[in-house]
Amino acid sequence: MEQMLDNITNSMKYKSYALHNYKAIPQVQALPEELLEAIEVVGHVLPFKTNNYVVDELINWNQVPNDPIFTLTFPRKEMLQPHHYKRMKAALDAGLSKDEIKAVANEIRMELNPHPAGQDKNVPMLGDVKLSGVQHKYRETVLFFPSQGQTCHAYCSFCFRWPQFVGMDEMKFAMKETDQLVQYLKEHREVTDVLFTGGDPMVMKSKLLRAYIEPLLSDELWNVQTIRIGSKSLAYWPYKYITDDDAEDTLALFTEITRKGKNLAFMAHFNHPAELDTPAVKEAIIRIRYTRAQIRTQSPILRAINDKPEIWTEMWRKQVNLNLIPYYMFAVRDTGAQHFFGLPLVEAQEIWRQAWQHASGVCRTVRGPSMSCTPGKVQMLGTASINGQKVMVLRFLQGRNPDWVGRPFFAEYNEKAIWIDELKPAFGESKFFLKMNYRKY
Ligand SMILES: *Cc1c(COP(=O)(O)O)cnc(C)c1O
Ligand code: SF4
């Protein structure tokens, strides 16, 4: 541990870049005019935020604009449909006021389907009170959105959570108090997992994170066995665990959780093997693992970022070598810049299959490609021919009704479909096997 630390600058100070200051990035100043225009135009519609670690240590500037990490955090022209791009460019060229430009941006955003997959349906009740920072969709797992964790160290250009970041506050799921969550967990002993999500809960200072997590360690909440934290911080700001002021205290909090006998599952979001190569990320992983937390990994499959089997095989292998446990490959949701990032399910599954075939058994803890949709998480298992008819085979990995999980079902073969709502049940059935009677918890 000491050894590696020597290679890391002692004074890594987080610096974020967004629309108002990205021109100060030296590497950006060297970019051709059309790329700068695209950042300006697209950045007014989709969330844009990057930071000094991403810029200096992750992006390979010789490969820009095709560098996967550049594409991951910088706006590119192709991320907006041509008519949307034109509309925003015209608004900027016309020198409209800030408010007028914002109105144009919001109009375009509304056309991008900003709240996908029926998230509002899962908001639970505590008596008469709506727990707006909580989602309870699957029996054993409750999702918690701490109101202070609704941002990230950098923004992913594909992210479906973007309505939370761009100032459309009314759509923000947020909750100030853990009290209500604790009460809810006492009344719902079937819940074993609490998943902190956001944004990125690891943007919170350790003191704040502590205020959210410590109440969950109380003996009264014996049902809570796993605390999961969904975070992209290892990829976007590993110094959080090394040189930030609260690095030691954050790790101490992790240790408290595991000392208490709870499973701490750090759900790390990595999209590309390049994110696993820096001395900083390796050091941060060692430090987190030292607290006895598990680190599991997940990523969507994205055009222009990781749409090749070799990338996945390499990513899983590197993860396993660093003691991380590959967990999910997601299909991208129906929002934002999906026309740029989206891959048809058949193609995604083919990439999956080839990657899987070349991965060692120790990497095959990962499941996918999986769609998080209204009824649950649906895995595209593959294509098959049944009585001469070509079909797609799917199954639920998670379902609102636990009874759906693990039963294969069939859809008509559709090479173009990106999302489950474009699929039709095979064999002339009127619906997939499931009855849509959601269980309420
Ligand atoms: C993915 C997800 C979970 C966690 O599911 P696991 O399969 O247990 O990892 C929980 N809640 C929601 C809403 C999810 O999308
Ligand atoms: S880090 Fe996670 S929540 Fe934040 S922008 Fe990326 S995908 Fe979205």
Mutate to test the pocket of ligand 1, among 142, 227, 366, 398 (most ligand atoms within 8 A of CB): 398
Task: Give the rounded percent of residues in the chain with a pLDDT score beyond 70.
Answer: 90
Ligand (nearest to CA of 143): 1
Q: Which ligand is nearest to the CA of 124?
A: 1
Cα 342 to averaged position of ligand 2 atoms, centre (Å): 17
Most confident by average pLDDT, 143-157, 367-381, 420-434: 367-381
Closest CA to 435 of 410, 403, 406: 403
Q: Which helix (H) or strand (E) holds 31?
A: none
Domain 119-365, architecture per CATH: Alpha-Beta Barrel (3.20)
Q: What is the pLDDT of residue 170?
A: 42
In 3D space, the residue among 74, 105, 73 whose CA is nearest the CA of residue 89 turns out to be: 105
Q: Whose CA is nearest to atom 3 of ligand 1?
A: 141
The yes-or-no verdict on residue 434 having pLDDT over 60 is no
pLDDT of residue 432: 83
Nearest-CA residue for atom 1 of ligand 2? 232
pTM above 0.85, yes or no: yes
* Mean of pLDDT values over 236-256: 98
CA distances from 395 to 146, 375, 407, 423 (A): 31, 12, 6, 13
**What is the mean predicted confidence (pLDDT) over 283-293?**
98
Interval 141-160: pLDDT, tens: 999 988 877 899 999 999 87
What mean pLDDT value characterizes the chain? 91
Q: Using a 6 Å cutoff on CB, does residue 199 contact ligand 2? A: yes
In this predicted model, what pLDDT tens digit does every residue of 194-219 receive, in sequence order? 999 988 999 999 998 999 999 999 99
- Cα–Cα distance, 422 to 430 (Å, whole number): 14
- The beta-strand segments (E) located in 103-245 are 125-126, 129-130, 134-138, 141-144, 193-196, 226-231
So what's the pLDDT on residue 173?
44
Q: Which of 60-64, 77-81, 161-165, 366-370 has the lowest mean pLDDT?
A: 161-165
* Cα–Cα distance for residue pair 80/83, rounded to 1 Å: 8
* Domain range annotation of the chain: 14-109, 119-365
More confident residue, 419 or 175: 419
The share of the chain scoring above pLDDT 90, in percent, equals 76
pLDDT bin (cut points 50, 70, 90) of residue 57 is very high
